[in-house]
Chain A
Amino acid sequence: MIKDEAKRLLAENQALRLEVEKLKDELIRLIGHNLDLTEQLEAYTEIRRRVEVARELMDGNINRQRNADLQDDAQLLALIELRVEQQRLHLQPDFDTDALADLIGVSHERLTRLFRTNTIHRTPEAYIGNLRVLTALRLLREKPNYSIAAIAKDAGFSNVRTLQRRIMDTIGMTPVEYRQILTRDI
């Protein structure tokens, strides 16, 4: 009787062991499958990342191509005058050579070379500065009630001292003297 029971338990134990082994096989298969899927997902993510990079490179090339069309110096200068003077960008005190290069889509060096070989200003800074001086002289003539500080601000100078120095360099007199001459003439 006890022997039979032991036999039965042994058989049951054996069957359970087999069942555990089968379940382990299935678990191994599932883990392997899970890893396959994870690797596929990783590969897919990598492909998406590469597509993004390729798209960015393509956009960059399109922009470069667009700017390459403007390699002609005369065309570039015309574009600069059009953009800067129409939009009155020189009236912003922080508008400088780098901002101009960004605006036109050329390098700092290309812009500097363009001004050195093609303009009387010689440098982009001088060109922007000259536009500010012209604006300040116009304001001195047209707005007799404006203070020198207000004119410096409106003409895009970072401070009154720079305005005074630039006007002196250009016309050989101070803003106040310029205004006095105009009043006397009237």
Chain B
Amino acid sequence: MMNITITEEQDRLIVALRGDLDNTASSQAEKELSPVFQRDDCDIVIDCRELEYISSSGLRILLNIYKHTRINGRRAIIRQMSDYVDEVMRTGGFLQLYEMEK
């Protein structure tokens, strides 16, 4: 099960991912995240506190979000990850793109 909430906080868009972002959930997640790609005026914070699993298609979504912020000259930030998600992100090279926030 995957659950996504998007909230705004000053000049930041907070995207909270909960549950399993697996291959099945990714296409639905992509639809739910479409408002994020329509915003070019804010930094994007991916809140991974309750993200339990992420697959390659989930990582591709995060890569696209990063590309979007980069084109707009905004910051892409990852906030709080479980050890498992941390390891996947690290191995995939994502921690060299996203900024980290505790």
Contacts and interface: CB of A to CB of B under 8 A. Distances in A.
B56 A24 contact: no
Contacts of B100: none
B96 A35 contact: no
A34 B93 contact: yes
A34 B94 CA distance: 12
Question: How large, as a class, is the contact surface on chain A?
Answer: 10 to 19
Given A32-B63, A42-B23, A42-B56, A24 B97 contact: yes
Given A27-B97, A30-B93, A42-B23, A35 B59 contact: yes
Interface string A28-50: 10111011001100100000000
B80 interface: no
A34 B56 CA distance: 9
A1 to B, nearest CB: 35
Contacts of B93: 27, 30-31, 34
Contacts of B97: 24, 27-28, 31
A50 to B, nearest CB: 15
Which secondary structure dominates where chain B touches chain A?
Answer: helix
A28 B57 contact: no
Contacts of A34: 92-93
B70 interface: yes
Contacts of A28: 63, 66-67, 70, 97
Contact of A35 (B63, B66, B67, B70): B63
Interface of B: 23, 56-57, 59-60, 63, 66-67, 70, 92-94, 96-97
Given A32-B60, A35-B59, A38-B56, 17 more contacts: A24-B97, A27-B97, A28-B63, A28-B66, A28-B70, A28-B97, A30-B93, A31-B63, A31-B92, A31-B94, A31-B97, A32-B63, A34-B93, A35-B60, A35-B92, A39-B56, A42-B56
Interface of A: 24, 27-28, 30-32, 34-35, 38-39, 42
16 contacts: A24-B70, A27-B93, A27-B96, A28-B97, A30-B93, A31-B59, A31-B92, A31-B93, A31-B94, A32-B60, A34-B92, A35-B60, A35-B63, A38-B56, A39-B57, A42-B23
